[in-house]
Structure 1
Amino acid sequence: MKFCDEALGSPIIAYAHNYSHGDVEAPHIHQCAQFLHALNGVIRVDTQAGAWVVTANKGLWIPAGVSHSLRITGDVWVRTLFVDPMARADLPNTCVLSTASPLLTCLIVEAVALPDVRMAGTREERIFELILDELRRLNPIDFYLPHPSSEALITLCRNLSERLSHPWTTSDAAKSLGQSERTVSRRFQQELGLTFTEWLRQKRLLHALELLASGCSVLDTALAIGYDSPSAFSAMFKSRTGLSPSEYCPPILPVARE
């Protein structure tokens, strides 16, 4: 894990790393910001605040000092950026998941081969300056699941997550907590910023992204997250991602391994 103890020697450094299916990285903190960019496969990133799923050609901006862990689904080629938080005054100060533009992806891939120290006025310096300009234009997308903080909701959400195929209702959650449905709804809104139904739908979507990337069929994925039919699952999936499940499984880009 880079730059956990050492400081950056430049305002921005590009770095390539390839993960195998099932790899994990324990919680760690970088002394700089990071833009974690996947060329293929799926990375689940967990922080104290919540979980993000980074799919092909997406990137997650992680501010300096934010503890995070990684779980890899599929073979993942990461082309990541480590950025001095002061490199630009208006870089994000919270985690932001965004689609990486084709320009930004090409710039990052090119930057990996460039020296960490650049001379002023050179092509290399201009490439990194343009990358910083592109990072200021990140548009958030909703592949995020907030984590609960109270012990009661932590336990409930863990139970829900372990049985996503069950047709959970707010009534089920209320019975589990020994509270009214209205109280459960209020607690979800206050603690997670989502209704119970919204949180469960988002949990199912993010798990579906991981299952599909690991090679599960559309039918098996639909059943695993509680849908009775592939068509209903496909409709939900396309409404949230813009792609059908069969279109989603990311292509392997022709980028040479390290």
Structure 2
Amino acid sequence: MSTTLPFNFSTRPLIPHAHDYSHGESEPWHQHSCAQLLYSLSGVVSVYTQQGCWVIPPSRGVWLPAGVVHQLAITGKVAARTLFVDPFARADLPAVCQVVQISSLLRELIITAIDLPELYVANTRTERIYELILDEIRGMSVLPFNLPEPTSPALSNICMRVRNDLGKTWTTSEAASLLNISERTLLRHFRREIGFSFSEWLRRARLMEALKRLAQGQSVLRVALELGYESQSAFSLMFRQRLGTPPSDYFQSI
């Protein structure tokens, strides 16, 4: 595992950075001494930590607290804009990894920050932009695009089998039978280790895989059928409920 060099926050509370990735690129396991807000203008970024996976659709972002060990995988052409944030810039910065909604205001502030000077004086436009960015970070809405990793070997094995065969018609009953436990016991274990039900975990796993496949240009029908949906309309309904737009329009409307 590599660790990035320390960032110098003596002149400003955050450091903006722009980087474009090609499809299939990745970054190995590493960590930062500061917090990080990674925003994707296009393409899909998958962020892996020891706690699970976070998938960042276009126009969304992921928040990583200081010291979190992670790696990145790129799907499609990704235009990433990152803010490296001094962990002491504000006392109430998010303390856990989370995929977040990037407001229109924060989006424009991030883009603007790329060209701001490193050195500035108090009570100037540059200082106000940095401070407003920190205000907006504190108010970001959390989105359900994470896939937590169970802590027990038994549930980890079930989740791995599901991820490897997302097109299968999985049921809570079938998953429980593979562990020789009751459905109620399986649900209790899932809620204790992950925070939500097996069926919700399955929906998220399929959605996150769908985002990556759609970013590669696969058709909506193919994605729907290969991920276990009975029809394109059933998949589109789920997609619209989660993302607010049909999958056929999503990557064209951002």
> 2:7 aligned with 1:7, yes or no?
yes
Q: How many residues align?
A: 252
CA contact (8 A) 2:47 2:54 kept: yes
Runs of 4+ in 1 over 6 A off after TM superposition: none
Tell me the amino acid that sits aligned with residue 150 of structure 1: S
2:181 counterpart of 1:175: no
Q: How far does residue 80 in structure 1 lie from its aligned partner after superposition?
A: 0.7
1:161 aligns with 2:141: no
Aligned to 2:132: 130
Q: 8 Å contact 2:98–2:146 — kept in the other structure?
A: no
Q: What SS class does the counterpart of residue 164 from structure 1 fall into?
A: coil
In 1, the alpha carbon distance for the partners of 2:3 and 2:182 equals 48
The one-letter code matched in structure 2 to 1:213 is A
1:218 and 2:216 aligned: no
Distance in 2, matches of 1:191 and 1:241, equals: 26
Corresponding residue for 1:189? 191
Could you say what secondary structure the match of 2:99 adopts? strand
Q: Which residue of 1 aligns with 2:246?
A: 244
Kept after mapping to 2: 8 A contact 1:43/1:54: yes
Structure-2 residue corresponding to 1:229: 231
Amino acid at match of 1:42: V
The offset of 1:72, in angstroms, is: 0.7
What TM-score comes out, normalization by structure 1 length? 0.92
Structure 2 distance, partners of 1:141, 1:83, is 21
Structure 1: segments with no counterpart, 5+ residues: 253-258
Give 1:1-258 correspondences, 5 Å limit.
4-9=4-9, 10-250=12-252
Structure 1: distance between partners of 2:94 and 2:184:
36
Residues 64-96 of structure 1 deviation map (CA, whole Å, 9 limit, x = unaligned): 011111111100001110000111112111123
Secondary structure, aligned partner of 2:29: strand
SS at match of 2:143: coil
Q: Any conservation in 2 of the 1:213–1:250 contact (CA below 8 Å)? A: no
- In 2, distance between residues paired with 1:63 and 1:162? 30
Between stretches 182-191 and 24-33, larger displacement belongs to: 182-191
SS in 2 for 1:72: strand
Q: Distance in 2 between matches of 1:116 and 1:27?
A: 28
User: Paired residue for 1:255?
Assistant: none
- Work out whether residues 17 and 77 of structure 1, in 8 Å CA contact, stay in contact via their aligned partners in 2: yes
Structure 1, 219-228 or 117-126: larger mean CA deviation: 117-126
**What RMSD in Å do the two structures reach over aligned CA positions?**
1.8
Cα pair 1:38 1:79 within 8 Å, conserved: yes
Distance 1:57 1:3 in 2: 27
Q: Distance in 2 between matches of 1:189 and 1:229?
A: 29
Deviation of 1:178 after TM superposition, in Å, equals: 2.4
